[in-house]
Amino acid sequence: MSNNQNSSNMPLFLMSGLMIIYAFIVQSGALEGLFKYLGILKTTDVQVAMCFIAGTIGIIGAIINSIRKPGNSIIDRFILQPLPGILFIILLAMLTRWYLEPLVKHMSASLQPVLGFKIYKVLNLNYVILGLLIGVLITNTYGIPKFAASGVKCARFVLKMGVILLGARYSFAELAKLGVYSIFLVGTFVLGTVFFALWLGNLFKQPKTMTGVLSAGMGVCGVSATVAVAPVVKARSEEMAYTIGTILSFGIICMFIFPTIGKLAGMNPVQFGAWAGTGILNSAQVAAAALAFNAVDIKTLKVAEIFNITRVLFLPIIVLVLATWFGKATGKKLTFKEVVIDKFPIFILGFLLLFALSSMGLFAPATHYKGKFIDFSYNDRSQITAEEHETLKTALANDSIKGLNEEQMEAIRHLVKKHQISGNYEDRGDKQKFYKQGEKRMFAIESVIAAAKGEKIVLDKEVVSALKHSVKQVHKKSKTLSVLTDCMIWFFAFGLIGLGMQITKKSIMQAGGMPLVIGFIAGVTKATLSFFVVLWLVKDVVLK
């Protein structure tokens, strides 16, 4: 027993030790040249901190596992047993984010003169896809190492944490802007797909239990909808497995095809987010496709999540619809509490909670977008430098700033007077008025910069530089949201590698047969129709 225990602990000791040794090497600066080459020098501190923390936790876990017998306590089940697997996936996530992705970018940039395009952009080879591919590759070749099996089961849990944290990046103003269209689009497609799948099931003479659970899975939000609807339509476990298999297989194809089609069609981040959020079923796969389309700008992911979340909000309605539909055949109906309240995904409530806290201004001023906001209040961090101030003051005194309208001149005069873009000092008590005055002056200065750039007016380079800096100084970024976004990205990277590890050839084959045909017809129809509707509706309206 103890030999077995020690040998099963060996991978954990090895991985933890490697992490700590790696942290020391990075800290010594020995890898600086490599980091510069890969363009990851900025991540040095994070690499050291993450490897030290993860390595230390791993060593402590391995020591505890070595000196005590494994039991079935909560600590055993949720920490000590999955720890080797968690560390294994973290190692893969680190490898993907710090080495594989920068290397792929580097290689595709070198190949650009030969090919004429960047491979990583065309194939969306970012950390999301690379992580998933690594997961799929490991499972279907070598197999998941036995010591890592429990860790893989944490993937969905960690993905949910990523989705919850995503809520912090939303603010009510944005959702209000998207609200009407997302509800209209999503509602139509959710209900439409459910009824279409039910009709197809009837056409192909499938059992009602199968059709019911499949229609919910294809219409609403994938796996959680399947789990929620299964008791209502009395679906057997193999039917749930078929449905989940169909959803995931369809989602995998979507995940790879959607970003490519989106890019070929020239969709903007908002359009793609709306399409992915409407057309792709599984929330993790929605996130994967959105990140694959645009991993830098989280806007795509946010819009996709808004649409996805809106779709999830239809779950209670669909559960009720299917309960009514199925009730005719079975005669037994579940109560409202059983079908709706008990089955509503709590992690979505977590997302909504963080969204509410974010809208109240806990992480950044309530008007923030992706943690960025404009701050006109008087403070040192908003001011231009003394040299810039002198440049502008001299230019005004010499009357060398010409060709501007009165509003633009007033904005520059006020900037010189107060050393920063702001509202009127005497109006600082009235926040709304103060903000509007500052915003007006900022727009005026931006129009001066644009006019200089377009050579409509002639300005000294130093003056333009000072004006640009004044605008930059009032654009602030919430550190809290930057760190939370980093956490979210790591959670997604971890979850998606784990998700990839769950995609076996067998699970893909499991989706075969008639449910697969019905699912694919319903899925493709929804994806195609939503593609055109999004292109038609979302283009001009959402991007205000």
Partner 1 sequence: MSDKNINDNEPQDEMEERALSVFSNEKNEDITALVFSLITVFIVLLFTKWLA
- Binding residues for partner 1, per CB under 8 A? 77-78, 82, 142-146, 149-150, 152-154, 156-158, 160-161, 164-165, 168, 224, 227, 237, 241, 345-347, 349-350, 353-354, 357, 362-363, 479-480, 483-484, 487, 502, 504, 506-507
Q: What is the closest distance, in whole angstroms, from the C-beta atom of residue 501 to partner 1 in the complex?
A: 10
Read off the tokens for 356.
């509410």
Pair 87, 54: CB distance under 8 Å: yes
Compute the least distance from the CB of residue 309 to partner 1, in Å.
Answer: 14
**Rounded to the nearest whole angstrom, what is the least distance from the CB of residue 231 to partner 1 in the complex?**
12
Question: Least separation, in Å, of the C-beta of 436 and partner 1?
Answer: 27
Minimum distance between the CB of residue 361 and partner 1, rounded to whole angstroms?
A: 11
Distance of CA 201 to the CA centre of its chain: 34
Alpha helices in 374-430 (DSSP H): 386-397, 406-418
The torsion angles phi and psi of 234, rounded to 5 degrees, stand at 55, 45
Residue for token digits 């409509």? 456
Query: Closest CB to partner 1 among 316 and 350?
Result: 350
Q: Which is nearer to partner 1, 277 or 498 (CB)?
A: 498
| Helix or strand holding residue 374 (H, E) | strand 372-374
Nearest CA to 444 out of 475, 422, 418, 461 is that of 422
Length reported for the chain: 544
158 vs 448, beta carbon nearer partner 1: 158
Q: How far apart are CA 492 and CA 296, in angstroms?
A: 14
How far apart are CB 251 and partner 1 at their closest, in Å? 15
Closest CA to 38 of 49, 28, 26, 50: 26
In this complex, which beta carbon is closest to partner 1, that of residue 340 or of residue 404? 340
CA distance 270 to 254: 18
Q: Which is nearer to partner 1, 5 or 465 (CB)?
A: 5
Q: Which is nearer to partner 1, 150 or 260 (CB)?
A: 150
- The structure tokens 């009514």 sit at 324
Separation between Cα atoms, residue 526 and residue 408, nearest integer Å: 50
Q: What is d(CA 275, CA 293) in angstroms, rounded to the nearest whole number?
A: 12
Least spacing, CB of residue 498 vs partner 1, in Å = 10
Other beta carbons within 10 angstroms of residue 299's beta carbon come to: 19
| C-alpha to C-alpha distance for 448 and 394, rounded to whole angstroms | 18
Strands (E), 262-317: none
Q: Is the dihedral of CA 280, 286, 289, 294 positive or negative?
A: positive
CA distance 302 to 162: 12
Alpha carbon distance 421, 474 (integer Å): 7
Of the pair 104, 216, the CB lying nearest partner 1 is at: 216
Residue 162 vs residues 156, 368, 484: alpha-carbon distances, Å: 10, 20, 10
* Nearest partner of 271 among 282, 261, 283, judged by Cα: 261
Closest by Cα among 138, 30, 5, 148 to 86: 148
Q: Got the DSSP string for 426-486?
A: GGTTSHHHHHHHHHHHHHHHHHHHHHHHTTSS---HHHHHHHHHHHHHHEEE-HHHHHHHH
Closest to partner 1 by CB, 60 or 509:
509
Cα–Cα distance for residue pair 31/28, rounded to 1 Å = 8
Rounded distance, CA 527 to CA 42, Å?
A: 39
Is the CB of 270 or the CB of 364 nearer to partner 1?
Answer: 364
Rounded to a whole number of angstroms, the minimum distance from the CB of residue 327 to partner 1 is: 24
Cβ 15 to partner 1, closest distance in Å? 15
CB of 429 to partner 1, least distance (A): 25
Provide, rounded to whole angstroms, the least separation between the CB of residue 23 and partner 1.
Answer: 20
Phi, psi (5° rounding) for residue 373?
-155, 165
Q: How far is the CB of 344 from partner 1 (least distance, A)?
A: 10
Instruction: Compare residues 258 and 347 and give the one whose CB is closer to partner 1.
Output: 347
Of the pair 76, 446, the CB lying nearest partner 1 is at: 76
Cα 370–chain centre separation = 12
At 321, which amino acid appears?
V
Residue 490 beta carbon to partner 1: minimum distance, rounded to whole angstroms: 10
Query: Which residue's CB is nearer to partner 1, number 104 or number 152?
Result: 152
Nearer to partner 1, 166 or 538 (CB): 166
